[in-house]
Structure 1
Amino acid sequence: MMNNEALIAVLQRTDPFALLDRNVLAPLCRGITLGTFKKGDYVFRQGAPSCDCLFIIAHGLVEILVEDDCREESVVGLRRKHDFFGETVVLSGQRYPGSARAKGALTCLRLHRNDLESLIYSQPEFSGFFNTLLAERMRLIYERNLSDRACTIPGSSTALLFRKQVSRVMSAPVLTCREDDPVSDAAKKMVKRQVGCLVVVDPAGRFRGTLTERHLVGGLIAEQTCPVGRCTAGRLMDPRLKAIAPEAYLGEALAAMIRNRSRQLVVMERDLPVGVVAFSDLVRSQSADSLMLIHDIADQNDMDGLADLSAGIDRVLDALVAERAGVQETMEIMSRLNDRITRKVIELSEVQMKGDGWGPPPVDYCWINMGSAARYEQTLRTDQDNAIIYADPEDGDRQASFDYFQRLAERVVDGLDRCGFERCPGGVMASKPKWCRALSEWRRGVAGWMVSMEPEDIRTLTILLDYRSVWGNNSLADTLWDDIVDAFSGSMSAGHMLSRDDQKLVAPIGILGKIATERSGPKKGRINLKTAALVHMVNAVRLLALRRGISTPSTLERLDRLVDSHDLSAEDAAFYRAGFETLMMFRIRENLKRVRDGRPPDNTLDPGTLNKSETLLLKDALSAVAQLQKRMSKGFHVPWMNYFGH
């Protein structure tokens, strides 16, 4: 028998419990039980159900064994005094992948899973030791949840997007030609086989490029690159490889086509082309009116037609959720689809400007999206967050250039509003002078905002730190980003002020893993997944990425880059990714429910409606939020600066 002082003494010498204060460890002892074993006794056996506890060695030595197919056991590890074991299944609830056997007299502390979870949820530093296991648990529950309680869409028109593989619909064997083949021969082959694409290969069958009907029309008729009689496939082909694997799902192929703005993908296996999958193949494999929307956006010639078409975009999201698409694929497909609408609105607006006598843009410019649209996290169409960066005009042309871009922005903002992207209530739109500036004015603004402690300037900077060019001269956006990185690295206050602003609201999970919900008002008993959870993850990852000069605005891509730069371990990043995707999954699901009921999406969730596994999933995700907030506070907090600004 061990008293509480003896139990605390063991915990204080065991990582990660050594991180915890005595006042945290003392109550923990009430739930700890002891296990004693003789030499040769098994604490648990391979394949046995989880004991739902973590074992901490007070005295003795434990062998970890794995049994092979011939039922022969091999020792794969040893656990000594003040080590713990059994961690691989205590959180997941799976069966033990190996056995634990006492090598001599053994005394273990048994910490129940519920008590361990309470520590993980309330102590972010402690939880870091279990990130790999938490990420795996979220993955298992998430996948099981998709199977057991998928959001089914009555009458959904798109089927099999994430159940049918590319190999089932691709054109094979691949039709090829050589670089030195006359284009006339290539065209005859296309006509004979009724295909729109040939893969250009070298004598060994390796990929060299693609030749499509568009290349033929563009090179021989529109631009007349070379005479038909002397033109070869190599002159007109596109050498860029836009590839997909045969085992990939159709939804992944769709995402790749939208990303690459391509109608065909080359199916590659072992570095050799084995087939071609075209957009038309995806359409034929579905009763796919929703997929045709993607194709039809480019064909719209006026704003009325584009607005009518955009009204059906939400059907694509319905289809993706019904098909149990992953969160990242869903966000990418919907965000890039919304990008297409935005680009078409800008294109039509430029045409309108010419028709009204304004002429073409007086200088180069780029249209940038901000917020969730920039981060590839937009699913349902949300409020607009956009801006214009235009090249500095000659001194005498400044007012005329500003007037042009203000007028253009008003047309674009109005067109986007007609297409379902409502105007931003806070005025973060290119139609407002604050968000429509020449490059030099943007640069001066950034220099000032980066050292300011005014709340409005901090908000402006927070918004601007997530942007992505979707139209125009991308170099303008790149130049501004370089200025932002330089200014941030030279500012002591920027990181502190941005992190302090986020710390004003803590992650909504308290001691013992209790989920904090709204206490009053129309949302009483609900949690806002965006403002109470996701925004903290976005803010923390943004600051960590900005410190490294990482330019991509996507939260998930930023996590990957932070692993590459060794700012995050792969295990921590996997945990944060799992938490982020889990919260996004709940957000998408709950918002779609409201839309189907004829109510506006509000990003809220009532935890009381979740089943046991979903509740566990949400708590794990919120613990990732709390841990990221703690990491951000440690990395950017400058204590003496708290005396300046409020």
Structure 2
Amino acid sequence: MSNSIAENIANFLKEYPPFNYLSHDELIQVATSIGVVNLDKHKTLFQIDDKLHDSFYVVASGVINLSVIADAEETLLNKCYAGDVFGLRPFFAKNNYMMTAKAREDSIVYAIPINVFKPFVAQNSQVLDFLLESFATNTRNPFDKENRGKLITDNVYTENQTTEIQYFQSLAYNKTPIKIAVTTVIKDAAQLMTENLIDSAIVTDQNQPIGIVTDTDFRSKIANGRFPITNTVEKIMSSPVITVPENVSVAEAQLLLLKHNVSHLCVTADGSDKSDVKGIISEHDLIVAQANNPGVLIKEIKRALSPKELKQVREKLTDLIQASIAKNIPLPHIYNISGEIITAIVKRSVELAILDLGSPPARFAWLSIGSQGRKEQLLLTDQDSILVFEDVSVEKYRDVKDYFLKLAKRATAILEKVGYEFCPNGHMASNMLWCKSLTDWIKQYNSWMKTPGEKSNDISSIFFDYEIAFGEGKIEDAITDVIFNNSKNNVLFFDYLGNDTLRKNPPLNFFKKFNLEEDGEHKGKFDIKNRAIMPLVDGARLFAISLNLRGINNTYLRFKQLAMIDPKYSEIYLNCADAFLILSKFRTLEGLKNDTSGDFINIDELSKADREKLKNALGPMKELEELIKDKFRLTQFS
């Protein structure tokens, strides 16, 4: 390629990450090796199941559509414009493409050889970080908020593009690797590997790794006659070994293989070559791991034909949550992934009920409420839901409602078998009170909001946190419109809701000691749900409705958004957001440890540091309480 063409390509690339992290000379080196591909409109560059190319691609001009097959339909995943990078799968996997790349219009793309670009990935931490974050999050360019030069990967997790899963995705690997001494004869090592059907052996000294022998070494160093098989493995082993700790993530492992251009990683006790060998990770292990992610779980859910199969997926989700907590992944990311999978489980439960009963006689919406509606349910707690069906004629109403009650009873029974207990308060779609027509639901919300307190035993604030799991989105929108229309200048309703928020027993007593349960099954324990977490949940909901914050149900996200739309009190909202995450993590750890709802914590089992951390997280609650008293006239229901 002539210098002038290479110069032009280099000048183009430097405007977009990750190329803007390279020097001019490095860009010229890349540009000189680039292949220019002209694509006519609708021409395919690669498609699903094609063998991987030896290049990845940058759009020079035009538009490239990336699509996947979901439920037997081709779904457009993204559009790539000038500067966008795509087709990165050859960097990270050996199996075929999982996307189709097709020109939306006449386009030109640059093909950058993987072997040319690999050294820049290994040598430049910013390029490595770009690829790592982009690969793990599967999003547009994470460094470019204006979407210029977005990087599209070829790993499809779910239709909704779950985030950062591979940072904490579990990685199964061989925990009983073959270990041999440096004096082992090559022939004996080869025979041992053949007998055990394994492609590697770790050379150790006092159980610490000093080298590794793989099938590749036999092909490149023995088969061609470089060394006789009577030599010791010291002659052909690769040394030093690239080592990783036991909790290494899929993304981290993939990038280390890429960075060091190796096919295996040695797992050791502390991640260094100075500690005991614990296992071996191969490229094959990483390919298998890519099939064990939320996207696959979603597919398993869609194929499930029984509660037993759904329960198996839910158990995998618990493992995923536990692994993410162990790696200190931010809780909002875990909520996002968990929420999508749980919603899919609920949806499939409704679908199985429909398969059993036959087609619904009217359109409807199944709404998860409470913690499921807020996408905050990490532990196996009880289920909460309502069912809203479209208005029908008077003569059809009874039959239609009977159908939906039967449907709801079947669906909730399936969810109970999955592990979600029936709501002790009966807040489920299978309860005839919470399964009714849109008009009846509008009357219900009107009653709750216009005359609060008159039938206070019927109202629960969880009915104001909901997420559609199945059915007509327009029905959910109609409920939302009713709530926010009724909230305008509704002093009485916010008086009721504000007092209800402040009615919880305080978490700390006058002497700043934890208020513990005085009797019952949980005597001596701290009720972290009702004394600490729920006041924050209730407060976030109260301000969200009063400030017309639609479409955001998650408590953490509500507080973050409130800080933006009500900047005068942003510090309080942000403190509450942080406190909510800390308290939720305490509850989740408790629940995972004891296989419970995590609602009650034994304070005595916490370290001194954790007790102080927990106590400090309760501080913002007082600020929130004072803000509620200041913002709302809490008189009639005080």
- Which bin holds the TM-score, normalised by the shorter protein? 0.5 to 0.7
Deviations 1:116-167 (A, max 9, x none): xxxxxxxxxxxxxxxxxxxxxxxxxxxxxxxxxxxxxxxxxxxxxxxxxxxx
Q: 1:203 aligns with which of 56, 61, 64?
A: 61
8 A contact 1:537–1:629 mirrored in 2:
no
Is the CA contact (8 Å cut-off) linking 2:373 and 2:553 kept in structure 1? yes
Q: What does residue 234 of structure 1 align with?
A: 104
Q: 1:430 to 1:451 in 2, by over 3 A?
A: same
Deviation at 1:336, TM superposition (A): 1.7
Q: How far apart, CA to CA, are the structure 2 residues paired with 1:212 and 1:618? A: 45
Amino acid at match of 1:212: V
Partner of 1:634: 630
Match of 2:419 in 1: 420
User: 2 CA distance for matches of 1:414 and 1:562?
Assistant: 38
CA distance in 1, matches of 2:68, 2:36: 11
Q: Which amino acid aligns with 1:610?
A: L
Compute the displacement of 1:472 (Å): 1.2
Q: Residue 343 and residue 461 in structure 1: after superposition, are their counterparts in 2 closer, same or farther (change >3 A)?
A: same
CA gap 1:188/1:440 in 2 versus in 1, 3 angstroms: closer
**Matches of 2:292 and 2:517 in 1, distance apart?**
37
Query: What is the CA-CA distance between 1:532 and the residue it aligns to?
Result: 0.7
Provide the secondary structure at the position in 2 that maps to 1:539: helix
Match of 2:271 in 1: none
Kindly indicate whether the alpha-carbon contact (under 8 Å) linking 2:314 and 2:418 is maintained by their aligned counterparts in 1. yes
The offset of 1:423, in angstroms, is 0.8
Alpha-carbon shift at residue 512 of structure 1 (Å): 4.9
Q: Secondary structure at the match of 1:272?
A: coil
1:323 matched to which residue of 2?
A: 327
Match status 1:540 vs 2:539 = yes
Give distance in 1, aligned partners of 2:34 and 2:518: 62
1:477-510: CA deviation from partner (whole Å, max 9, x where unpaired): 1111111112122432211112222323343123
TM superposition shift of 1:178: 7.7
RMSD: 3.8
1:188-337 equivalences under 5 Å are 191-193=50-52, 201=59, 203=61, 209-212=65-68, 218=74, 233-234=103-104, 247=129, 265=139, 270=144, 271-279=148-156, 282=166, 285=250, 288=289, 291=293, 292-337=296-341
Q: Note the C-alpha offset of 1:267.
A: 5.1
2:34 and 2:630 mapped to 1: Cα distance?
55
Query: Unpaired runs of 5+ in structure 2?
Result: 1-29, 77-100, 108-126, 158-164, 172-249, 251-285
Q: Deviations over 1:376-435 (max 9, x none)?
A: 110012111101111111333222221221121111111111111111111100011111
Counterpart position of 1:182 = 42
What is the rounded CA distance, in whole Å, between the counterparts of 2:412 and 2:35 in structure 1?
45
Of all paired residues, the percent bearing the same amino acid is 22
Closer, same or farther: CA 544–192 of 1 in aligned 2, 3 Å: same
> Which residue is equivalent to 1:593?
593
Task: Evaluate the alpha carbon distance shift between residue 423 and residue 174 of structure 1 in structure 2; reply closer, same or farther with a 3 A threshold.
Answer: farther
Shift of 1:534: 0.6
Equivalent position amino acid for 1:627 in 2 = E
For residues 368 and 35 of structure 2, the distance between their equivalents in structure 1, rounded to whole angstroms, comes to 40
Deviation at 1:219, TM superposition (A): 8.4
Work out the CA distance in 2 between the residues paired with 1:472 and 1:604: 36
- The whole-number CA distance in structure 2 between the counterparts of 1:458 and 1:179 is 66
Counterpart residue number, 1:619: 615
| Structure 1 residue 296 displacement after superposition | 2.2
1:506-525 paired onto structure 2 within 5 Å: 506-525=505-524
Shift of 1:215: 10
CA shift digits 1:20-46 (9 cap, x unpaired): xxxxxxxxxxxxxxxxxxxxxxxxxxx
Unpaired runs of 5+ residues, structure 1, are: 1-171, 221-230, 238-244, 257-263, 355-359
Comparing 624-633 with 371-380, which one deviates more in the overlay? 624-633
> Would the alpha carbon gap of residues 175 and 632 (structure 1) be closer, same or farther in structure 2, given more than 3 Å must change?
farther
Secondary structure of the structure 2 residue equivalent to 1:450: helix
Counterparts of residues 37-436 of structure 1 (less than 5 Å): 180-183=40-43, 185-187=44-46, 191-193=50-52, 201=59, 203=61, 209-212=65-68, 218=74, 233-234=103-104, 247=129, 265=139, 270=144, 271-279=148-156, 282=166, 285=250, 288=289, 291=293, 292-354=296-358, 360-436=359-435
CA distance in 2: counterparts of 1:248 and 1:636, whole angstroms: 47
Report the alpha carbon displacement of residue 371 of structure 1 after superposing the two structures with TM.
0.6
Classify the secondary structure of the residue corresponding to 1:423.
coil
The separation in 2 between residues aligned to 1:198 and 1:408, in whole angstroms, is: 49
CA contact (8 A) 1:505 1:532 kept: yes
Structure 1 counterpart of 2:104, one-letter code: G
Cα deviation, 1:525-553, whole Å, max 9, x if unaligned, reads: 32111011111111111111101121221
> CA-to-partner distance for each residue in 1:181-231, whole Å, 9 max, x for gaps?
434x43469624279x99894617xx75423355996489xxxxxxxxxx9
Tell me: higher relative CO, structure 1 or 2? Use CA pairs within 8 A at least 6 residues apart: 1
Counterparts in 2 of 1:436-515, with a 5 A limit?
436-454=435-453, 457=456, 460-515=459-514
Q: Distance in 2 between matches of 1:562 and 1:249?
A: 33
- Amino acid aligned to 2:380: R
Distance 2:134 2:151 in 1: 18
Change (3 A) 1:530 1:214: closer
SS at match of 1:564: helix
| TM-score normalised by L of structure 2 | 0.61
Q: Which amino acid aligns with 1:373?
A: Q
The alpha-carbon distance between structure 1 residues 234 and 301, as it changes in their structure 2 partners (threshold 3 A), is farther
For residues 433 and 343 of structure 2, the distance between their equivalents in structure 1, rounded to whole angstroms, comes to 23
What is the SS of the residue equivalent to 2:425? coil
* TM-aligned CA distance change 1:250 to 1:400, over 3 Å: farther
Equivalent residue letter for 1:587: R
Q: 1:628 to 1:361 in 2, by over 3 A?
A: same
Query: Which whole-Å CA distance do the structure 2 matches of 1:252 and 1:346 have between them?
Result: 35
Q: 1:414 to 1:628 in 2, by over 3 A?
A: same
Aligned partners of 1:174 and 1:290: how far apart in 2? 35
Residue number in structure 2 paired with 1:559: 559
Equivalent-residue separation in structure 1 for 2:407 and 2:317 (angstroms): 25
Q: Would the aligned equivalents of 1:176 and 1:201 in 2 still touch at CA under 8 Å? A: no
Q: Return the alpha-carbon distance in structure 2 between the equivalents of residues 623 and 234 of structure 1.
A: 55
608 and 410 in structure 1: CA distance in 2 versus 1, 3 angstrom threshold: same
- For residues 587-608 of structure 1, what are the alpha-carbon distances to aligned partners after superposition, in whole Å with 9 as ceiling and x for unaligned? 111111112xxxx334111223
1:251 and 1:603 map into 2 onto residues whose CA distance is: 34
Distance 1:208 1:581, change over 3 A: same
Identify the range of structure 1 (282-291 vs 555-564) with the bigger mean alpha-carbon deviation.
282-291
Greater displacement, 269-278 / 398-407: 269-278
